[in-house]
Every structure is written in structure tokens, then in C-alpha cells.
Structure 1
């Protein structure tokens, strides 16, 4: 992305999007179970409405961005999600926080279809840019656990909502001041329709159409299954660590710091994946990443203490590494003026799955324990491996108009 200042704001947005979405996961696991006298399994379903909104509103967010202003929608995101988080800090009951998490999910739905549409504009370095942006998002996941744990230990869980909320509102005001002219300008298309790479030259339109359908079906399938893995690992990890790392630390801030450590180390897998996507394409990368996940999810079952921390770091390398592959493929194939809408469809699928995964975690944890959850995730990784094996070696991709 040429405008590095804008890229920095978009990276901040990705950080905050994942940060806000996972404050409740840590607060529920480490504080609200005591303050509200409820079990972890009873509390986490109250976040479901937020994840439903996160998915449900992704498509209209992308549609509106394509027809109004992508910069304008990013400004609405910063201010809106900040206000919703401040509101969540005032909740006095599970239903109250569920309401504010729903509002937060509405504004959180803006970032992915719109932010990625601004970043994924093609070019030889697109994989790198998506990877860097992905690292920021994953660091938001990690810092959500750490900052929330820190707040719980020293000032209370409510500050974990209102303080970042005020910061986000401030960033939104700065963003508007910096890009107000862009916010008022109608989007202009700049990319051509999809055309085949050299390896597909000479194939007729019917063959190309079949190829596009096959790739699209694989993208949407792997999007859904990858979402199960990403949501399960990022949402449940603070509670998993609370149960399995008690011999290392028993404080909220200590558990949060270890989650941050794992997420931070794993985030940099995206930089490697981004470079490999630019060099060898998505098929081989997908196969390698899904293989790693399959191995380490199976290994994690039954692990405690330092070995659990080590294996968790390894499977998170795969979980974080895989999430930008579909975004890369869409960025290569989608026409500019429809890109945010297409990303919206992709994230409707992802976030609809996220909403289902939260009650799944609750059910599995209460009835079977976390080992069964990780066997389910291993099966998901195997499904991704088989789907990725059906991708073509080279993809239809954008060429300059």
C-alpha cells in the first residue's frame, strides 16, 4: 500500500477490532465468574449476539463502503466501536453486557470487509501488506488477554472496556481530521475484471468459468472451517491456560501475559506466510499450514504446564498463518469496486461460524473438557488440507486496466 500513514491507521484498526472482540472472553474467564456468580460455560453464550452482529453486518458494511466511502466507514468504525466499549463498561448484568456486545459487534463488522478492500489492491507486495496487517490484528488478540488480565488485577474489569474505548474514539477523530477529503469522495474503480494468468492462456471461457467456480467454492469452504479454528483458539485460550498453566501462574495478569506471548510469537507466522504467498502461491502454503495444525492440535490433548504452553505456541503459528490465505486469493481475483462487498460475503461466512463456535465451546467444555475441542479442531485442519489440495497451481488474477 503506497500511503504508509493510511496503512498505519488501518493496522491500528485491525488491532482494535480484534482487541475489543476478545475483552469479554478474558473478563468472563477470570473475573465475571466471581463478580456475577456464574460459571464460564454459563457466561460465554452472552457474547453470541455480538458475534452474530459481527457476521450479519459485514455484508451491508462492505456494500455501503463500495457505494459511499471506505475511509468514511473506517472513521465510523473507530468512533462507534469505542463508544460501544465504553457502554459495555457500564453493564450491570449479563443481559446488559450482551446488549452492548451486540452494538460493539455491529461496528466491529465494518473493519474487515472495508479495511482489507483498502489494503488488498493487487501488486507484487500485496501478500506482505496483508501479512503485516494480519500481525497487527493478531497482536490485538494477544493484548486483549494481557491488558484485560492486567486491568482485572489492578483496577477492575470495567476499565478494560472504557479505557480502550476512549482511545479508539480519539483515534477516530484524528482519522477524520487526516482523511476528511477522502471521506467525502465517491469511490472510483481502478482494477480490471479477472483474467487468467499465463498458464491459463488459451483455455476457453467455459473452462475459466468452471475454474472460478471451483476456486470460489474452496475459498468459502476453507473460510468457514478456518473460522472454527481461529475463533475456538483465540476465544478459549485464556480459559485453557487458566486450567492448564496453573503450575506456572495463577494470577489473571500472568495468564493474560502468557496468552499475549503465544499470540505475539504466532503472529509473525503471517509475515512468513505473506512472503511465501507472493513467491509460491496459495496452494502449497495452505497444504503446509493445515498439516502443522493437524499435528499440533492432536499433540495438545492431555498437555499441562510448560509443554502445554510450547505446543499451544506451535498450533497458534498455524492458526494465525492460515487466516490471510483466503484474503490474499480474494485480493488477487476481485474487481476493485466490488472488493469490499466480496470481502463482506467472506466475513459473513466467517463470523456466522464464529457465532456458532462460542456455544460449541461452552457445550464441549462443560460436558467433555478441552481435549475433545482440540480433536475437533484437528479434524477441521484435515478438512482444510483436502480442500486446499483441490486448488489449481495458479489462480486467475487481476491485471491493470
Structure 2
């Protein structure tokens, strides 16, 4: 059966794709980060140093970036819907395997964590392009998807904390794993019924998407995404260290007030809440911007503006007092949340549909590959100077460089409403 433009089945198909991809986005972000919380309880249970147990995740972190490219190839070869099923099944089984490892078996735990890294790498290579191809309003769809991803980041500490409190560290692995398996089974059923499928990227009126334009866009974005990846990771891993010192007085006052009510709290709780606020606000902002800005204004202008404003966000983190530094971190995350969907839409439009998986895989190899650079810079600058002010001052220059390089992108287009029909996947 062919689905015609305007057919209710067209909208229903796009909505189902958005639901499954967004759930996958949340689960992927939560499950590739929650070990950092689980390891604290695991260290007590296994009587091993937390630092040693945390090192077990290093190979998984490498796979999370490296496997993006083969995952993208598999998406192009076998189809995004099927590869999303593989992702859910792989993440679920790997997480359950983590929860079932014998006590003290660090090798088995490391291998199971590698499974989480491997299958977590599938999401961005597969799910992002899948949404853009099937969405009628691309900016809005990316905003919704980004909101779910931010929810996953915000929950990575809460979900395992609750499960450990109610049951054990094993439950913190097993329960999310079971949720993944259930979602994957439902998606497989919907694919089999022909209710969820895929389609080639709809043509954008007036867009020239030849080989020359593809290399121009991909070359520019390779530079800007790598630089943006350094800034993103620097804020993610460095903001808490900034808040720990610059918000120390305010945190002490809040702790004293809460203690007067009979509740004793640790400073790390309030630092963690301040850090979580960054991603809660950025997730909401990404949804709002997708709905009100990305779908309405030229992509290049929006991207250049967001990059230029990063300069001020880095200055606030470098030189501001506690609350100004917090505002700078939130602003940086919001601006990154605006830039990401634009990069995704441009890659989807200028990359032939049959190579979407490889295109997005290459993007996330570049973006995620920049994270270790930021982590090493944080460690080196803090050890050398005792603060992160020089790091964020240096990143103002990097933000300015992103802005200048982004000016080389082709301009004049915007994210627009797509009316092309969606073709359902054949029943199997």
C-alpha cells in the first residue's frame, strides 16, 4: 500500500518513528553513563577501589565512538528500523549481563560494559537520520528527540540510585536492560506489521546537493563539530569542578538552611543538582528552539549565531562568579543543543540517503573523539594552575574559530515542513 501526501498514515508513521527513536535516545544516554553512579556501590560490595572499577569502562567509552562508523554502515545496508531493534536488544542483553556477573569478576564486567559501549554507538548513527528522513517538521522532531536525550542524561544518576536503594546494584543494570528488550520487541512487532518503516530523504526545494556541495558541507562541519565536541565535553566534565569552588559559599548556606530542618546533606549533592540543571534546561531549550527557531530561520544564520554566542558563555565560565558561571554553563549547553540539530539536518540533506548511516557515523566519530582531548586538558590545566579559568579562556578562542569556519557553509535555506510520503517497511 502506498501512503500518499496528506494521508493520516503519513503523519502516524512519522510519529511512531519519533517515539521509538526518542525512547532510544533517552535509554542510550542513561545507560552509557549510569555506571559512573553504580560503581560507587559496586566498590563497597566488591571491596575494590572505585578508581580501579571505573577504569573498566574505558574500553567501552572508546567503543562508543569507534563503533559509530560500522553501525552507520549496517544501517545503510540493512535499514535503520532493523538496526534500532539490534540496538535495543544489544543494550538490553549487555546491561543484564553486567547485572549477572559473578562477584569480583572484573574481566566479565569489563566485557559486558563493552557491549553497552558497542550497542550504544548505534543510536546516533542510526536514529538521528531515521527521524530526519521521516519527519514532516524536521526542527520540531529534532527538538523533541533532543529533549528525550537530555532526560536520559538527567536520569542517569536518579534511576540507578533509586534501584540500588530499593534492591541492589544488580537491579540497577538488569531493570533498564529489561526495559530495552521490551521496547525492542515492540518495535520489531511494529516493523513486521508495516506500521513503522523508513524512506529516502525528501528533496529540499532549491537545494543543490551534488558532490561538490557535499564535500563543502562535510569539510566545514568536520572542523566545527570537532571543536564543538571539545567545548561540550569541557563543560560536561569541568562544570562541576568550577561550581565546587565558586558556589562553595552559596552551597554552605543552603546546606545550613536544610540542616536546620533536620536534613543533613553533602556538598556533592548540590554540585550534582547544579550540574543536572544544565542538561534539564538545555533539553527544554532544544525542544523550544526546534519548534520556534530551527524550522523558521535559515540554518546557517542560526548556526553561526549560536557559535558566536558560545564566546560569551565561555567567558562567563572563565571569569564569572558562581551564578554567572552557572549561567555560562547552561548557556553553553543550550547553544550546543541548538547547533546539534542543525548539523544533523545539514548532513542529512547533503548526504545521499543510501549513505546516511555512514555520514552520521562519521559525525559522531569526530564529535565523540574530541571528548578525550577535553578530559586531558581539564586534568592538565587544573593540575598546572589549580583552576579551570585558563581552559575556558582558551575555549573562547575555539568558539570564535567555530564561528569563522561556520561562515563557509552554504546559506539561504531553512528547516522546512516536508510533505513527501513515507513508505512503510514490507511485512516479513
Give the TM-score band, short-chain normalised.
0.7 to 0.9
Length, aligned pairs only: 388
Deviations 1:280-318 (A, max 9, x none): 222211122122222122212365654443332222222
Are residues 261 and 14 of structure 1, via their aligned partners in 2, closer, same or farther at CA, if it must alter by over 3 Å? same
Partner Cα distance (1:96, 1:157) in 2? 16
Are residues 327 and 152 of structure 1, via their aligned partners in 2, closer, same or farther at CA, if it must alter by over 3 Å? same
SS in 2 for 1:234: helix
SS in 1 for 2:133: coil
Query: After the TM superposition, which of the residue ranges 47-56 and 187-196 deviates more from structure 2?
Result: 187-196
Partner Cα distance (2:274, 2:268) in 1? 10
> For the Cα contact (< 8 Å) 2:300–2:410, is it kept in 1?
yes
- How does 1:135-146 map onto structure 2 within 5 Å? 135-146=147-158
Partner Cα distance (1:69, 1:108) in 2? 17
Deviations 1:194-223 (A, max 9, x none): 8853xx7xxxx9xx6544432221111112
> For the Cα contact (< 8 Å) 1:46–1:98, is it kept in 2?
yes
SS in 2 for 1:268: helix
* TM-score computed with the length of structure 1 as normaliser: 0.81
Tell which structure's C-alpha radius of gyration is larger: 2
Deviations 1:2-42 (A, max 9, x none): 321332111100111111122234556x7678874456xx8
- The aligned residue for residue 380 of structure 1 is 398
Aligned with 2:126 (options 114, 122, 140): 114
Q: Which sections of structure 2, spanning at least 5 residues, go unmatched?
A: 1-9, 256-265, 422-428
Are residues 188 and 179 of structure 1, via their aligned partners in 2, closer, same or farther at CA, if it must alter by over 3 Å? closer
SS in 1 for 2:411: coil
Are residues 317 and 193 of structure 1, via their aligned partners in 2, closer, same or farther at CA, if it must alter by over 3 Å? closer
Structure 1 vs Structure 2 CA RMSD: 3.7
1:157 deviates by 5.5
Alignment of 1:177 onto 2:189: yes
Aligned with 2:70 (options 60, 71, 91): 60
SS in 1 for 2:370: helix
Partner Cα distance (1:152, 1:168) in 2? 19
Query: After the TM superposition, which of the residue ranges 222-231 and 115-124 deviates more from structure 2?
Result: 115-124
- How does 1:44-193 map onto structure 2 within 5 Å? 46-89=56-99, 90=101, 92=104, 97-121=109-133, 125-148=137-160, 159-181=171-193, 190-191=200-201
Alignment of 1:268 onto 2:258: no
Query: After the TM superposition, which of the residue ranges 222-231 and 157-166 deviates more from structure 2?
Result: 157-166
Partner Cα distance (1:232, 1:109) in 2? 21
Are residues 154 and 302 of structure 1, via their aligned partners in 2, closer, same or farther at CA, if it must alter by over 3 Å? farther
Are residues 191 and 325 of structure 1, via their aligned partners in 2, closer, same or farther at CA, if it must alter by over 3 Å? closer
- The aligned residue for residue 347 of structure 1 is 364
Are residues 169 and 210 of structure 1, via their aligned partners in 2, closer, same or farther at CA, if it must alter by over 3 Å? closer
Partner Cα distance (2:69, 2:413) in 1? 25
Alignment of 1:23 onto 2:31: no
> For the Cα contact (< 8 Å) 1:194–1:335, is it kept in 2?
no
Query: After the TM superposition, which of the residue ranges 353-362 and 64-73 deviates more from structure 2?
Result: 353-362
- How does 1:365-376 map onto structure 2 within 5 Å? 365-368=382-385, 369-376=387-394
1:45 deviates by 5.6
Q: Which sections of structure 1, spanning at least 5 residues, go unmatched?
A: none
> For the Cα contact (< 8 Å) 2:71–2:121, is it kept in 1?
yes
1:229 deviates by 2.2
Partner Cα distance (1:141, 1:191) in 2? 29
Partner Cα distance (1:236, 1:164) in 2? 28
Aligned with 2:330 (options 313, 325, 330): 313
SS in 2 for 1:391: coil
Deviations 1:76-101 (A, max 9, x none): 11121122233344474776654433
- The aligned residue for residue 412 of structure 2 is 394
> For the Cα contact (< 8 Å) 1:57–1:110, is it kept in 2?
yes
1:253 deviates by 5.1
* TM-score computed with the length of structure 2 as normaliser: 0.76
Aligned with 2:24 (options 7, 13, 19): 13
